[in-house]
Amino acid sequence: MPPGGDWYTEEWAGQGSAISLKLARKLHDEQSPYQRIEIFETATFGRLMTLDGLVMVTDRDNFVYHEMMSHPALYTHDRPRRLLIIGGGDCGTLREVLKHDEVEHVDQVELDERVTRVSEQFFPELCAANTDARAHLHFQDGIRWVKEVAPASYDVIIVDSTDPVGPAAGLFGPAFYADCHRALKPEGLIVGQSESPLFHVDLIQAMHTHLRAADFLDVATLSFPQCTYPSGWWSATLARKDATLAGFREEDCRDRPFATRYYNDGIHRAAFAAPEFLFKALL
């Protein structure tokens, strides 16, 4: 029997399972042109943002996701200067990448400006870098942005998207990856969130296939715990143009001039270890 009282529950689509967070009160509720945005104060996870009823971010556990979407890619690249974030409306990924002094310019292309404005209000710490002169916020369709941007514009592209349904579905497809390949400089990297290793192996397999078809030389998936996402276990898939993903700037990572809570050099190496079932699925 589900818990009584005032709880937020997300049923994990098609997985016969659900997570619930105990609520203190609702802080915000709006229908943007794209989706319903709700903010809650929870009992033990701090603030919670949901989009169309799905958990996007909580104060308590977002650090793992945002660090793992940012630092492994940036420390793999020799000198990440120009970055593109697709999605990322809560701005937590933007904050992480701007901790890297090498980064000179970040375009963040989020479809729904309201997600960012609401985040600025309710998750000010995630949005602390929004006023950084290197951050350029654009509110438009990321798929179109990548199609139209000049070739070799970026060192790293981060696809910090919602699930591969609705407007985000195109962010997991071959045409989008081909455009990303074109938009990346030589030895450029793309990293995209790639759902749960327990629930969505098919999606991870498809991403590998599509990324290789788009001429990326190397593709690899890393994983990390993420309590409030489906199955509590999440992944990101990286691909690199003209170079492998093996190795990273270990010394820079160990000497990083900023604090992390999940990521470090040991975690960097560890995150890429594939569980046996995933290793076999990706052969």
Report, as residue numbers or ranges, the catalytic residues: 160
Minimum separation from the CB atom of position 21 to a copy of itself (A): 5
Neighbours of 151 (CB within 10 A): 10
Tell me whether residue 146 or residue 238 sits nearer to a copy of itself (CB atom).
238
At 12 the three-state DSSP class reads strand
Which structure tokens are listed for 253? 């990572």
E strand spans, the chain? 7-12, 17-31, 36-42, 47-51, 54-58, 82-87, 105-109, 135-138, 154-160, 184-193, 218-225, 233-240
Minimum separation from the CB atom of position 15 to a copy of itself (A): 6
Tell me whether residue 150 or residue 261 sits nearer to a copy of itself (CB atom).
261
Minimum separation from the CB atom of position 222 to a copy of itself (A): 10
Tell me whether residue 6 or residue 78 sits nearer to a copy of itself (CB atom).
6
Tell me whether residue 135 or residue 236 sits nearer to a copy of itself (CB atom).
236
What values do phi and psi take at 238, rounded to 5? -110, 150
Minimum separation from the CB atom of position 154 to a copy of itself (A): 28
Query: Which residues would be at the binding site for a copy of itself (CB under 8 A)?
Result: 1-4, 7-9, 11, 14-22, 42-45, 61, 64, 197-198, 223, 225-228, 231-233, 260-264, 266-267, 269-277, 279
Alpha carbon of residue 131 to chain centroid:
20
- DSSP letter for 256, please: -
DSSP letters, 111-145, are: S-HHHHHHHHHH-TTTTTTTTSTTEEEE-S-HHHH
Cα separation, 1 vs 156, in Å, equals: 46
Cα separation, 186 vs 246, in Å, equals: 16
Tell me whether residue 217 or residue 274 sits nearer to a copy of itself (CB atom).
274
Minimum separation from the CB atom of position 261 to a copy of itself (A): 5
